[in-house]
Amino acid sequence: MKTPIRVAVTGAAGQIGYSLLFRIASGAMFGPDQPVILQLIEAPIEKALKALEGVAMELDDCAFPLLKGIIQTADASIGFKDANWCLLVGAKPRGPGMERADLLKDNGKIFIGQGQIIDAVAAADARIAVVGNPANTNCMIAASQAKRLPAERFTAMVRLDQNRAQSQLAKKAGVDLTAVQDIFIYGNHSPTMFPAFAHATIGGQPATKVINDDTWLQGPFCETVGKRGAAIIAARGASSAASAANALVDHVRSLVTPGAIHSVAVKSQGLYGFDANVWAGMPVRTTTAGSYEVITGYAMDAFAQSKIAATNKELVEERAFVADMIA
């Protein structure tokens, strides 16, 4: 029997948490022979903690053979203690009339605190995946507090955007989803993100040739992927939850699977025209179960460059809003 992996999850009683925890406990994230201990962290709000109790009861009722323990807490220093993975899902939602700068600052406070605590108490091999929005900048903020854990351990999720793009390309080409490969998301998890269709392949052929409709690729395709979150809210009356949880399972699973090629928001290091100190979606190859490298060398045409410039501008602006907090 392997040693259990400790997985800390913030926002555990939220919508995404409710889809996510059962997948982790069933083995979907770390594999069918890897036991896990769930360390569930909620905001110190009575209603949230009560809801968390209910979620933990349901986890018990699933009798998952791989689930070796559940911690429920509002204290991050207990929740992140010895965690091997820290999944930062909880965040303050944007309220009516709230400015983006205020949202960034309010979440900044949460992610500064969590970054410091993770750095102090999580396991030596701890890795962090941020989902709570604005995910890229929240990830940058948390990473800015780390003295012990290196920046590459902090990633933000753009996998939902990749999955959405893959699905849209498959539908348009009328092929099975698995025929679509190498569709990567560059930049921010926001409508400015860029799904780089020019490098995607469909059945081994360039997607641009198979689809043969640049107007659709540059227009409706990019827009549909970028605004899919809003479309889900309009249709469902609530934001994406099951698909977001599924994408986080994919994000982590791919990061622990050597050879996996996928989109991850990482510290940009100045690649592909991004500012060096923003967290931007990039193509990544997992090298070992604990490390990855950014895939370099994809050529960007004028259209791609303009899209990357726009999403980079937004990331730089977001960083400017919180500059005083992370300096």
Cβ-closest residue to ligand NAX?
14
> By CB under 6 A, which span of 57-65, 132-140, 179-187, 194-202 interacts with ligand NAX?
132-140
- Round to whole Å and give the CA distance between 19 and 244: 9
Taking CB under 6 A as the criterion, which residues in 145-164 touch ligand NAX? Answer: 157, 160
Question: Does the footprint of ligand NAX cover residue 133 (CB under 6 A)?
Answer: yes
Question: Does the footprint of ligand NAX cover residue 40 (CB under 6 A)?
Answer: no
Size of the site for ligand NAX (CB under 6 A): 30
* SS3 state at 39: strand
Nearest-approach distance from CB 17 to ligand NAX, in angstroms: 6
Tell me which of 8, 13, 180, 278 binds ligand NAX, using CB under 6 A. Answer: 13
Which two structure tokens, joined as six digits, stand for 273?
Answer: 């025209």
Nearest-approach distance from CB 61 to ligand NAX, in angstroms: 20
Residue 301: closest CA among 182, 184, 191, 199:
199
Say whether 189 is catalytic: yes
Nearest-approach distance from CB 189 to ligand NAX, in angstroms: 4
Return the number of the residue (94 or 313) whose C-beta is nearest ligand NAX.
94
- Round to whole Å and give the CA distance between 50 and 13: 9
Tell me which of 112, 244, 252, 266 binds ligand NAX, using CB under 6 A. Answer: 244
Three state DSSP letters for 129-186: EECCCCHHHHHHHHHHCCCCCCHHHEEECCHHHHHHHHHHHHHHHCCCHHHEECCCEE
Region of 25 (left: φ > 0; alpha: ψ -120 to 50; beta: rest) is alpha
Question: Does the footprint of ligand NAX cover residue 250 (CB under 6 A)?
Answer: no
Nearest-approach distance from CB 54 to ligand NAX, in angstroms: 12
> By CB under 6 A, which span of 65-73, 129-137, 179-187, 318-326 interacts with ligand NAX?
129-137
- Round to whole Å and give the CA distance between 252 and 155: 10
- Round to whole Å and give the CA distance between 292 and 294: 7
Taking CB under 6 A as the criterion, which residues in 95-114 touch ligand NAX? Answer: 110
Return the number of the residue (157 or 196) whose C-beta is nearest ligand NAX.
157
Tell me which of 71, 78, 175, 241 binds ligand NAX, using CB under 6 A. Answer: 241
Q: Mask: binding to ligand NAX, 183-202, rule CB under 6 A, as x and -?
A: ------x-------------
Instruction: Return the amino acid letter for 112.
Output: I
- Round to whole Å and give the CA distance between 287 and 280: 19
- Round to whole Å and give the CA distance between 208 and 210: 6
Residue 37: closest CA among 164, 123, 165, 136:
123
For ligand NAX, the binding residues (CB under 6 A) are 10-11, 13-17, 41-43, 45, 48, 89-93, 110, 131-133, 135, 157, 160, 189, 229, 239-241, 244
The catalytic residue positions are: 189
